[in-house]
């Protein structure tokens, strides 16, 4: 179970408790937190799947060197999975390009 699944499970349990014990403000806060965790997990999962699919095209860097939190820093402004991927591609394009340039140089 991923850390996001564990967190989502815990938040769901706390949400149920808040609803059962008539704490609407607390329940609303748990709903917001749960939506956030699910969104973050979805974006990161989408990025990692793309990175694995494009591993040999320079995306190995993302899969091997970027933590979930580092990926999140790049994509947190996205509105959906596709937007997150577009942000990450934009971010990675110069990095991958520079890496290819260095690998093709005489000094590599």
Locate the domains of the chain by residue range. Answer: 3-104
User: Of 80, 101, 85, nearest to 47 (Cα)?
Assistant: 85
* Sign, CA torsion 95/100/104/107: positive
Entry pTM: 0.77
Maximum Cα–Cα distance across the chain: 69
pLDDT tens for the chain, 108 residues: list them. Answer: 567 667 778 878 887 887 888 888 988 888 888 888 889 999 999 999 999 999 999 999 999 999 999 999 999 999 999 999 999 999 999 999 998 888 888 665
CA distances from 15 to 3, 9, 20, 50, 74 (A): 18, 10, 9, 33, 29
């Amino acid at each position: 179970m991923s850390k996001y699944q564990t967190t989502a499970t815990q938040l769901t349990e706390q949400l149920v408790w808040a609803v059962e014990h008539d704490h609407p403000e607390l329940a609303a806060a748990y709903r917001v937190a749960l939506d956030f965790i699910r969104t973050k997990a979805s974006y990161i999962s989408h990025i990692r799947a793309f990175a694995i699919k494009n591993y040999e095209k320079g995306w190995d860097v993302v899969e091997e060197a970027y933590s979930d939190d580092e990926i999140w820093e790049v994509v947190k402004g996205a509105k959906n999975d596709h937007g997150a991927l577009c942000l990450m591609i934009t971010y990675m394009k110069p990095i991958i390009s520079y890496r290819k340039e260095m690998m093709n140089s005489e000094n590599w």
